[in-house]
Structure 1
C-alpha cells in the first residue's frame, strides 16, 4: 500500500512539473486570469494527497479500500476538469478574472460536495456492517460453545445430542434484535448450565425448545 502511495505521489509530482513547464513555455500573456487558474490547478493537485489519505487512511482492509475508491475517482475527475479549465484560461488569458474565479470555484465546490457525500455514504455503510457483525455474533458464539461441549463430552449419546443442537444453531437465523434479548439471555444461561448440570439431556431439550421459539420470533420480526 505504501509503495502504491509513493507511486501516486510521484505521478502527481510529474504532472505538476509537466503542467508548469507547458504553462510557462507557451508564449501567452501571464495575466491575472492565468495565475488564478494556475493556483486553482496546483490546489487540485495537492488536494489529491489529502483525498487519498482520507479514502485509504482508515482501516487497512480490502473492504475499507474498496469503499474509498469512489472518493478517489471523484478526486481524479475533479483534477482532470480543473486541468481542462486551466488549459482553456491559459489559452485565452484575456478572459475576465471573475470568470476564472467563478468557474474554478464551481469546480472545486461541486467536487467537494460530491466527496463529502461519498465519505458520508462510506461511513454509513461501515457503520451498518459493524452493526450486522454485532447482531450475528450471538449465534456464532453460541454455536462455538455448544460444539466445544460436544467435543469434550465423553457420553456418546449426549455428545451426539450436542452436535445436533450445534447444527440447529448453525442454521438458525443469525440476526439478533432487541425483542429477542430476553430469550437469547435464557439460551445463554442454559448453555452455561451445561457446565454444571448433572442431567445434560434435560438442558439440551430445553435449549432445543428455546431455540425453536427464538427462530419463530425471528420470522415474526421480519
Structure 2
C-alpha cells in the first residue's frame, strides 16, 4: 500500500510539472487574471498532499483506506475543476481579474465544504461501527465462554448440552440493548456458575430459558 501511495504522489508531481510547462510554454499574455488563476491552481496541487494524508489518517487498514476514498475523490475533482478554470483564464486573458478571484475562490470554498462533509461522514461511519462492535461483543464473548466449557467437560451428556447451548447463543440476536442489561447480567452469572457448580444440567436449562427471553425481547426492541 505504501508503494501505491508513493506512486500516487509521483503521478501528482508529474502532473504538476506538466501543468507548469504548459502554463508558461503557451504563448498567451500573462495578465493579472493568469497569475491569480495560477496561484489558486498551485494551492490546489499543494492541498492534494494534505487531503490524501487526511484521507488515510488514524490507521492503515484496508477499511480505513476504503473510507478515505470519497475524500480523495473530492480532492481530485477539486484539482481537475481548478485546472479547467486555469485553462479558461489562460486562453482568455482579457477576463477581469475580479472574475478570476470569485471563480477560483468559489471552487476552493465549495470543495472545502465537500471535503469537510466527506470527512464527517467517514468519522460517523467509524463511530457507528464502533458502537455496533460494542453491542455485539457481549454475545460473542458469551459464546466463546460456553464453547470453552464444552471443550473442557468430561461428562458426555453435559458436554452435548453445552454444545447445543453454544449453538443457540451463536444464532441469537447479536445486538445488545440497554433494556436487556439486567437479563444479560443474569445470563453471565449463570455461565460463570457453570465453572464451579455440581448442577450444570439445571443451570443449562435455565440459561436456555433466559436466552429465549432475551432473543424475544431483542426482537421487540428493534
TM-score (norm 2): 0.98
Match of 1:168 in 2: 168
* 1:96 and 2:92 correspond: no
Match of 2:16 in 1: 16
Aligned 1:67-146 pairs, distance under 5 A: 67-146=67-146
Q: Kindly tell me the number of residue pairs found equivalent between the two proteins.
A: 222
Q: 2 CA distance for matches of 1:197 and 1:39? A: 77
Tell me how large the CA RMSD over aligned residues is: 0.9
Q: 1 CA distance for matches of 2:189 and 2:45? A: 59
Q: 2 CA distance for matches of 1:183 and 1:15? A: 62
Q: CA deviation at 1:46?
A: 0.9
TM-score (norm 1): 0.98
Q: CA deviation at 1:63?
A: 1.4
Q: 1 CA distance for matches of 2:178 and 2:206? A: 22
Q: 1 CA distance for matches of 2:145 and 2:92? A: 73
**1:164-192 superposed Cα distances (whole Å, 9 cap, x missing partner):** 10011011111000000000011111101
Aligned 1:32-43 pairs, distance under 5 A: 32-43=32-43
Q: CA deviation at 1:26?
A: 1.4
Q: Which runs of 5+ in 1 are unaligned?
A: none
Bigger drift between 40-49 and 6-15 goes to 6-15
Q: CA deviation at 1:58?
A: 2.5
Structure 1 runs (4+) deviating above 3 angstroms are none
Q: 2 CA distance for matches of 1:58 and 1:76? A: 21
Q: 1 CA distance for matches of 2:88 and 2:219? A: 62
Q: Which runs of 5+ in 2 are unaligned?
A: none
